[in-house]
């Protein structure tokens, strides 16, 4: 029995993962992660770090974060409580979809995750109050390799679904993309 439905997006390597649920009167069971099954979706490295976030207010935005090589990472993003608009931006040098973005609604109810490969920036906007996410990372956080795009960058033109209610000073001050940026 397949535990996941894998849907490849228009951005090569970015995969929507839907967990299959076995349900009965007690509730449900689903496999959250399986290295063997998700290797075919592109998550081939061991999990090096797991992070858990909580965001209190609807409309809050976090992102668009990434790490430069050799610390670039695959991320497996899941929403455990609430609902989010999850965004990935292709930053791969020479990619035919360079600087294009893709978004998915992830929620506790829809059992979806987004597999974000190396070479992508990632961020999200909460669509409900009290959102909790879990991130599985293929590499540990490396402060010296950290970078981000500005979530309001007109060159990206991300169609955020709600007005921003919360955005950290750090995230609001990430630089805009210039013509010198050729990717990672």
| 171 three-state secondary structure | helix
The pTM assigned to this predicted structure is: 0.94
Is the separation of the CB atoms in 176 and 155 below 8 Å?
Answer: yes
DSSP letter assigned to residue 176? P
Instruction: Look at residue 2 and tell me whether its pLDDT is greater than 80.
Output: no
Q: pLDDT (tens digit, 9 = 90+) per residue, 17-71?
A: 998 888 889 988 888 888 888 888 888 889 999 999 999 999 999 999 999 999 9
Task: Round to whole Å and give the CA distance between 86 and 164.
Answer: 14
Length of the chain measured in residues? 184
From CA 143, how far away is CA 158, in angstroms rounded?
A: 26
Q: Is 65 an active-site residue?
A: yes
pLDDT in tens, 114-164: 999 999 999 999 999 999 999 999 999 999 999 999 999 999 999 999 999
Average pLDDT over the chain reads 95
Give the closest residue to 88 by CA, choosing from 180, 37, 22, 16. Answer: 16
Choose, from 135, 137, 141, 174, the residue flagged as catalytic.
135
52 is catalytic: no
Band of residue 1 on the pLDDT scale cut at 50, 70, 90: low
Write the DSSP string, 55-87. E-STT-EEEEEEE-TTS---EEEEEEESEEEEE
The token pair that represents 51 in the structure block: 């992070």
């Amino acid at each position: 029995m397949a535990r996941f439905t894998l849907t490849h997006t228009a951005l090569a390597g970015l995969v929507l993962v839907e967990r299959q649920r076995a349900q009965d009167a007690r509730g449900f069971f689903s496999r959250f992660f399986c290295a063997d099954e998700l290797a075919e979706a592109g998550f081939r490295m061991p999990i090096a770090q797991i992070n858990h976030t909580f965001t209190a207010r609807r409309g809050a935005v976090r992102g668009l974060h990434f790490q430069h090589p050799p610390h670039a990472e695959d991320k497996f993003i899941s929403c455990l409580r609430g609902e989010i608009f999850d965004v990935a931006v292709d930053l791969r040098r020479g990619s035919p979809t360079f600087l294009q973005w893709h978004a998915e609604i992830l929620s506790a109810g829809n059992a979806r995750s987004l597999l974000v490969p190396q070479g992508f920036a990632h961020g999200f906007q909460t669509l409900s109050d009290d959102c909790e996410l879990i991130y599985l990372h293929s590499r540990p956080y490396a402060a010296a390799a950290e970078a981000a795009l500005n979530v309001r960058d007109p060159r990206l033109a991300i169609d955020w679904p709600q007005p921003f209610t919360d955005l950290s000073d750090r995230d609001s001050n990430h630089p805009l993309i210039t013509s010198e940026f050729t990717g990672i």
